[in-house]
């Protein structure tokens, strides 16, 4: 995974590697090398501009799924001074595809819940590729209610291909678990902020995102169905996922335009994985501002506004 790069990233990464190598091997000043470096830097700038200002929706999907992309626990590590992970749904199991716990950001206490993907095969088997079972959603709800009881604002990170479609998941009520979260999140009398950091896959994502503020990282996606799934249904060909991504309009700016999210968080040029700490700092800034603002509302107003926000989503005519 560590040397994985997307096709469209490769030219930039190669050029950047050449630049840094050139820097490393020339100590002191060397006018010729300096000239060459300047030229290459300029070229790299132009190349980055060309690629990253014209990303297709499918390229954004690829960035959202990038194996190097920071995951929930990475962001927690960069954003929080303190994180005490809590486990289990108290009914069946602990689902490693969702992490939850108590944390501090800038000294302020809060609860954090998020989907968690794995970085390699072994981790991904453990985390089930970030696809939760019902017990994951039930753990999330348990922590939400804990937070509500102790007046802790809640931050959720969304990063899942979707809730797991498996036999055990159905037996244990995947639908019920998701549905219950959607309903109960409407009752949590504490500020709720969600950041979609990678894949916002359908109901499995929404079950952590019925929040007062929902933000998306610039290269994350939010969709009712995966592009592959959509292509399979529309054209009986999962390979047509890039076309499906276009028609589904699943990018952060698409979601913002449709009034589904509250804001977009800029990523470092090239994506969050090119400078994860910078991405974390941008998220922290947005999240702190949102909590500050929401903290001024009394609980009743907060709940009423949350309800109205979701009631206003949708496009129809009469």
**Quick check: 72 binds other proteins (CB under 8 A)?**
no
Using the rule CB under 8 A, is 174 a contact of other proteins?
yes
Residues 244-303 touching other proteins, rule: CB under 8 A, are: 247-250, 254-255, 258, 260
Which range of residues in 67-75, 84-92, 138-146, 206-214 is near other proteins by CB under 8 A?
A: 206-214
Q: Determine if 235 is a binding residue for other proteins (CB under 8 A).
A: yes
DSSP-assigned states of every residue in 82-148: EEEEE---SSS---TTEEEEEEEETTEEEEEEEE---SSHHHHHHHGGG---HHHHHHHHHHHHHHH
222 binds other proteins (CB under 8 A): yes
Say whether residue 18 binds other proteins (CB under 8 A): no
- Among 57, 60, 69, 172, the residue binding other proteins under the rule CB under 8 A is 172
Q: Answer yes or no: are the C-beta atoms of 192 and 151 closer than 8 Å.
A: no
CB-neighbour burial class of residue 51 (10 A; exposed 0-12, middle 13-18, buried 19+)? middle
Q: Nearer Cβ to other proteins, position 48 or 115? A: 115
- Contact status: 77 vs other proteins (CB under 8 A): no
- The size of the interface with other proteins (CB under 8 A), counted in residues, is 55
Q: Is 170 in the site for other proteins (CB under 8 A)?
A: yes
**Measured in whole angstroms, how far is the alpha carbon of residue 183 from the centre of its chain?**
22
Q: Is 220 in the site for other proteins (CB under 8 A)?
A: no
Q: For tokens 């604002």, what's the residue?
A: 153
Closest CB to other proteins among residues 4, 235: 235
Asked if residues 82 and 103 have their Cβ atoms less than 8 Å apart, the reply is yes
Distances in whole angstroms, Cα of residue 255 to Cα of each of 71, 105, 208: 21, 27, 17
Binding flag, residue 194, other proteins (CB under 8 A): no
């Amino acid at each position: 995974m560590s040397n994985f790069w997307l096709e469209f990233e490769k030219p930039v990464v190669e050029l950047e590697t050449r630049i840094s190598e050139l820097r490393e091997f020339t100590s002191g000043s060397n006018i010729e090398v300096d000239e060459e470096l300047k030229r290459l830097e300029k070229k790299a700038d132009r190349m980055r501009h060309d690629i990253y200002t014209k990303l297709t929706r499918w390229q954004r999907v690829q960035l959202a799924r990038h194996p190097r992309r920071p995951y929930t626990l990475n962001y927690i590590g960069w954003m929080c001074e303190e994180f005490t992970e809590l486990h289990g749904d108290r009914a069946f199991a602990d689902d490693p595809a969702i992490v939850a716990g108590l944390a501090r950001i800038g000294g302020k206490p809060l609860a954090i819940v998020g989907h968690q993907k794995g970085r390699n095969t072994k981790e991904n088997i453990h985390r089930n590729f970030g696809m939760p079972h019902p017990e994951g959603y039930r753990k999330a709800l348990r922590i939400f209610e804990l937070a509500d009881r102790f007046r802790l604002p809640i931050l959720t990170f969304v990063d899942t291909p979707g809730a797991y479609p498996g036999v055990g998941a159905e037996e244990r009520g995947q639908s019920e678990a998701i549905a219950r979260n959607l309903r109960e999140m409407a009752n949590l009398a504490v500020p709720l902020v969600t950041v979609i950091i990678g894949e916002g896959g359908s109901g499995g994502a929404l079950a952590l995102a019925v929040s007062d503020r929902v933000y998306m990282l610039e290269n994350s996606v939010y969709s009712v169905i995966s592009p592959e799934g959509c292509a399979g249904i529309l054209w009986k060909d999962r390979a047509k996922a890039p076309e499906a991504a276009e028609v589904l309009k699943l990018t952060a700016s698409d979601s913002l335009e449709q009034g589904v999210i509250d804001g977009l968080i800029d990523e470092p040029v090239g994506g969050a994985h090119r400078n994860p700490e910078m991405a974390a700092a941008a998220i922290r800034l947005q999240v702190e501002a949102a909590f500050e603002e929401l903290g001024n509302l009394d609980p009743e107003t907060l709940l009423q506004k949350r309800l109205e926000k979701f009631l206003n989503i949708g496009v129809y005519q009469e």
